[in-house]
Amino acid sequence: MDVLQAWPQASAIILSCPGPLRRHPRSLLKLTELALPQILLGGESQLAAFAAAAPAKTRQRMVFAPLPEMFAGTEGLAAAFRGLGRAPPDPAQVVHLRFGSVRDARVLKGVVNAAVLAERAASPPLTASHHPFASGASLPAAMQGVFLYGPDGACPRRAGGEILPSALLPADHVGADLIPVRADPAGLDLVSLADFDSDAWAAGAVAACRPPPRDVVLLPWNLAHFGSIVPELLSRLASLWQPGIDLPSLVLLPFNYLGQTGLLRRLVARLCAATPWAAALLQQMFFARVTSQAGVAALRKMGRLAWVDGNDPDSWWTMARLRAGGFEPTLIDPKSADEAIWVEADTRYGLLTFEARLPSLRELPALLAGARR
């Protein structure tokens, strides 16, 4: 099967993306059963937008696999379809589409596999381990094609060096799932960093939180981009803050979240070490995630301004999604940021080092000035 041309005619189309597994009770789910924790940004939003843009007849043949690599063979896949009350399709006519970052690509054995990417081409890490996917430039050997959300998308090679055929998706896919609905706080998980409980966050049991009363700036944070400047930027803001200084309330939007809360806990600990007034500062910073379209509207009522890390390969997608959702993002552009840093991260792919640029301490007041209205 030529996956780039024939995927809409597949007898079954299986979608998958990285994310926490505990919300999914079966190995295959109907799209109406999905419980995605962050539908506004990242791989989950890319999957939701793709499904919403598909014709209705094609969408009816779509299902979701929380963990496609769990299937050792097509016999298990057939059993999973029977569990949905559907006749098992011919594996040769099944397409698996994988969303999310290149490093997190996975395949489903025995069927046709393709990746759907929104990442822009980016410089490789300055240093990387020998893990086959550490560089972020290689896809599994079973991948047969790549769909790109943007014209400047990354073009990873198949493991072994072969360039994969690719196809550009229509521009209207970006916001296809974003529909206007009435705001409902139930669609928005919100918790201050002072009250953050990692177990409750991982379980999806976040208690209701009063929205910030002052000016709000949204700060998307791509947990799959290990060279993110977000922790360093927040640490610098924390070092400047003391009681009486007027900072906007910052609402962090972690996305590409796999279910482990280590990065979130480490950020809270880092901010606590950055200022003697951490207890007060953490009351002005929040973690948030959008779980429904009503949550998009609730977030928009809270604040429309956003800062987007331009070092992130997903930054163009984040900017486009925020605009489509009615927000006003500002790019922290590495081309104009005045300080270069190295970001070192100990990851599941080994130790990685990235070069990044962000505003220096003397440039932060100008960034903050743009957040005041």
Burial class from Cβ neighbours inside 10 Å (0-12, 13-18, 19+) for residue 138 reads buried
Q: Round to whole Å and give the CA distance between 67 and 60.
A: 21
Write down the pLDDT at residue 12: 96
Write down the pLDDT at residue 175: 95
Write down the pLDDT at residue 319: 97
Q: Round to whole Å and give the CA distance between 99 and 334.
A: 26
CB atoms within 10 A of CB 198: 13
Instruction: Check pLDDT > 90 for residue 149.
Output: yes
Full DSSP string of 226-246: TT-SHHHHHHHHHHH--TT--
Write down the pLDDT at residue 10: 94
Q: Round to whole Å and give the CA distance between 106 and 125.
A: 21
Write down the pLDDT at residue 301: 92
Q: Which CATH class is domain 185-369?
A: alpha beta
What number is the average pLDDT over the span 217-245?
Answer: 90
Instruction: Check pLDDT > 80 for residue 371.
Output: no
* Of the candidate ranges 46-55, 154-163, 181-190, the one whose mean pLDDT is the lowest: 154-163
Instruction: Check pLDDT > 80 for residue 160.
Output: no
Instruction: Check pLDDT > 90 for residue 42.
Output: yes
- CA 293 from chain center: how many Å? 16
Q: What does DSSP say about strands 188-192 and 112-117: parallel, antiparallel, or unpaired?
A: unpaired
Write down the pLDDT at residue 373: 58
pLDDT tens-place string over residues 337-368: 889 999 998 888 889 899 999 999 888 888 88
The mean pLDDT value of the chain amounts to 90
Instruction: Check pLDDT > 80 for residue 314.
Output: yes
What number is the average pLDDT over the span 4-9?
Answer: 90
Share of the chain above pLDDT 90, in %: 63
Q: Which two tokens stand for residue 215?
A: 């000016």
Kindly state the helix (H) or strand (E) to which residue 318 belongs, with its residue range. helix 315-324
Q: What are the sequence ranges of the domains in the chain?
A: 3-173, 185-369
| Helix, strand, or coil (residue 86) | coil
Instruction: Check pLDDT > 70 for residue 93.
Output: yes
pLDDT tens-place string over residues 274-302: 889 888 889 989 999 999 999 999 999 99
Write down the pLDDT at residue 297: 95
